[in-house]
Amino acid sequence: MKIEEFKDFTIQDYHHLLEEKKISPLELVNIFLERIEEGEDKIHAFLFVNEEKAKNEAREKTDNWPEELPPLWGLPVAIKDNICTQGMPTTCGSKMLENFVSPYDATVVERLKAAGAIILGKTNMDEFAMGSSTENSTFGPTHNPLDLRRTPGGSSGGSAASVCALEAPCALGSDTGGSVRQPAAFCGVVGLRPTYGRVPRYGVVGLASSLDQAGPITRKVEDAITILEVISGKDSRDSTCAPYPPFSRNEIPSLEDIRKIKVGVPREYFSSRVEKVIGEKIQEALGKLKGEGVELVEVSLPHTDYALEAYYIVASAEASSNLARYDGVMYGLRVEGEDLQDMYFETRTLGFGKEVKRRIILGTYSLSSGHYDEYYLKSMKVRTLVRKDFEEALKQCNLLITPTTPSFPFFLGEETQDLYERYTDDIFTIPSALAGLPSLSLNCGYEGGLPVGLQIIGGPFEEGKLLGLALWLEKLLALPSPFPELKEGRGQ
């Protein structure tokens, strides 16, 4: 089979092919490895390709075909490089961990493997997940497969680009303030941030521990459901993980019940900051739902504009604490100095990039004596107000629909030219992250070949309603799946 035949495949489609023995795991892995070889010199989605081990594992599965296949059996999956994967590099896109090989699997990787998945490799990302373009990676930027001059978003840009280019059927990313949803929007694929605590964080390298959440990036909503069923559920090794069983697709309401859902449209998310075409595409999607009988209600999230500032203080403060462990003593980069203090200084100076240093300094300052109350404590109070905004809005409706981003994918290099503008690109994904709510980005149209992301936000642990609406809306929109040709020089 050829890679283009998989353009509209879901995980279930791959599963049926394998069940019927129309393709073997080894053949499937080889097809995706060939696609990676074809596209990587242009896209740079992967930092590490697990070629030999993936082939060996696929060969073993091919030789030992079980009677009943686990849900992801034989399926190649890509993993963001801040998620620990045994025997593979986990660099977090940083020189600090350039030579670090993880001795264990994160819980989410354990669960993927237990479901039969084969790990294709580790994907590029902004250093320690700090950024929205994947340009902050120590190992070079990732290019958007839909236009190689543009960013795929970040920080999970490598994962989104790999799925968009069909270098992998699906991937895992992590989302602190929008790092799954924003790149999914920029690459025209599906990105799900589950409720905080729904998916274990054990083995996911921490940026901001009260915000971080692993989630799937897929080509179809159905695939996000399948992956969520596998990776969710309680984990005794993660004290922040909710004591709930794994998500089940049985939680998704019937289409009849989905039609009765009230959809809230927050007025603050359709302001002048949104590019006109993006607003129009979202309104067209809302019009389709209204035409099907869905009730739309206008709601308000009044503290939206304050969420951005609060997030960058809270996330930077937690990052400052989390990244204090990278000091050259136990693991990672070590640069010798005249004494211990000098070794710390030299190691962290050389090991961290500009954006990471910027946020460590901001976070340390916010937590310092005399500034804690003024910055960190006040930001936590704003976070509470943001959460209450969502609680009040969701009393008037069941789900919210907003744009995922206010702009189209920006050109590579623009992040460094206008840093503040790049920070504000996360204005629509950050508030729900601060509130710990589940949210999903879905492609709702194209303009000039570039996708428009639509975001659906639900109440805590209401992924069933969210995914039910997303499935239906995806069907109503009936948009083509991305499949870039990856010709030499395209978009350059």
Report pLDDT digits (tens) over 290-325.
Answer: 999 999 999 999 999 999 999 999 999 999 999 999
Band of residue 425 on the pLDDT scale cut at 50, 70, 90: confident
Question: Is 369 known to be catalytic?
Answer: no
Q: Rounded to whole angstroms, how far apart are CA atoms 452 and 282?
A: 8
- pLDDT tens by residue, 82-103: 999 999 999 999 999 999 999 9
Which is the catalytic residue, given 155, 156, 316, 441? 155
CB–CB of 492/148 below 8 Å? yes
pLDDT of 490 strictly over 50: no
Question: pLDDT exceeding 70 applies to what percent of the chain?
Answer: 98
pLDDT of 196 strictly over 80: yes
pLDDT of 15 strictly over 50: yes
* pLDDT score recorded for residue 415: 57
Band of residue 491 on the pLDDT scale cut at 50, 70, 90: very low
Which is the catalytic residue, given 24, 42, 61, 80? 80
Copy the structure tokens of residue 94: 């940083």
- The 3-state DSSP class for residue 123 equals strand
Residues 6 or more apart in contact with residue 279 via CB below 8 angstroms: 270, 403
Task: Return the DSSP state at 75.
Answer: -
What integer is the mean pLDDT of 464-480? Answer: 98
Alpha-carbon distances, residue 152 vs 34, 274, 409, 451 (angstroms): 21, 19, 7, 11
Cis preceding linkage at 209, omega within 30: no
Question: Is 80 known to be catalytic?
Answer: yes
Alpha-carbon distances, residue 361 vs 64, 235, 279, 386 (angstroms): 53, 33, 36, 25
Copy the structure tokens of residue 460: 């805590």
Question: Is 179 known to be catalytic?
Answer: yes
Per the listing, tokens 């079980």 go with 66
What integer is the mean pLDDT of 423-443? Answer: 96
pLDDT, mean over the chain: 96
CB–CB of 245/235 below 8 Å? no
Which is the catalytic residue, given 102, 179, 232, 379? 179
- The 3-state DSSP class for residue 71 equals coil
CB–CB of 133/141 below 8 Å? yes
Domain map (residue ranges) of the chain: 305-383
Burial of 272 (0-12, 13-18, 19+ CB in 10 A): exposed
